[in-house]
Amino acid sequence: MIAIVLFGKPGAGKGTQAEFLKEKYNLTHISTGDVFRYNLKNGTDLGKQAQVYMSEAKLVPDEITINMLANEVEKNMDKDGFLFDGFPRTIKQAEALEALLKEKNIRLAGTVALEANDDILVARILERGKTSGRADDQDEAKIRYRYTEYNENTAPLIKYYQDKNVFHAVDGIGSIEEITGRLSKVIDTLI
């Protein structure tokens, strides 16, 4: 069983691409955002714990997040592997994910980053904001702040995963089909 981490800045197309990749490779797509929304909506113990932090505009501790992800992994051990989207975001989270994968005997096949220019991504998100209903998709200042957060906290994962020889960059600009093709060429070498 394998795991692939798909990451990139907000608007890079992770969610869109994950929909294609999960079918093609028989992977369970685990989106951190979706996992949080499920736990909050259903009032799970972990959702209630996360809500306490979120209501105070604080980051949810990694332990709660990794426990949510562990539950998702446990529920989906019937696939060929997992596609993580939106996690990890920090080196500490990467280490926690690696510990979880090791415990479940899942091989980290690779990490794939969708790369694109910030201005192009801002335009994508603003366009998405017209239909997503998400307030943070409609405010350019908030979008650019998310990029600052990404550069400070998530970008260091590039070197972290390069040092482990599992990092792959993919051009995230083009049609959905073109990007899927580029991602598939990389993933075919990983599995």
For the chain, state the CA radius of gyration: 16
Examine the residue annotation and report whether 134 is marked as an active-site residue of this protein. yes
Of the residues 22, 89, 124, 182, only one is catalytic, namely 89
What's the one-letter identity of residue 138?
Q
Of the residues 14, 22, 124, 182, only one is catalytic, namely 14
For residue 18, the SS3 value is helix
Of the residues 104, 142, 144, 146, only one is catalytic, namely 146
Of the residues 79, 104, 128, 144, only one is catalytic, namely 128
Which residues, other chains included, contact 176 with Cβ-Cβ below 8 Å and sequence gap of 6+? 13, 16, 17, 20
Q: Within the chain, what is the greatest distance between any pair of CA atoms?
A: 44
Of the residues 48, 92, 134, 159, only one is catalytic, namely 134
Which candidate, 164, 191, 166, 186, places its Cα nearest to that of 111? 166
In this structure, how many other beta carbons lie within 10 angstroms of the beta carbon of residue 129? 19
Take residue 116 and report the two structure tokens written for it: 């694109």
How far is it, in rounded angstroms, from Cα 104 to Cα 86?
A: 20
Which strand (E) or helix (H) includes residue 85? strand 81-85
Q: Enumerate the active-site residues.
A: 14, 89, 128, 134, 146
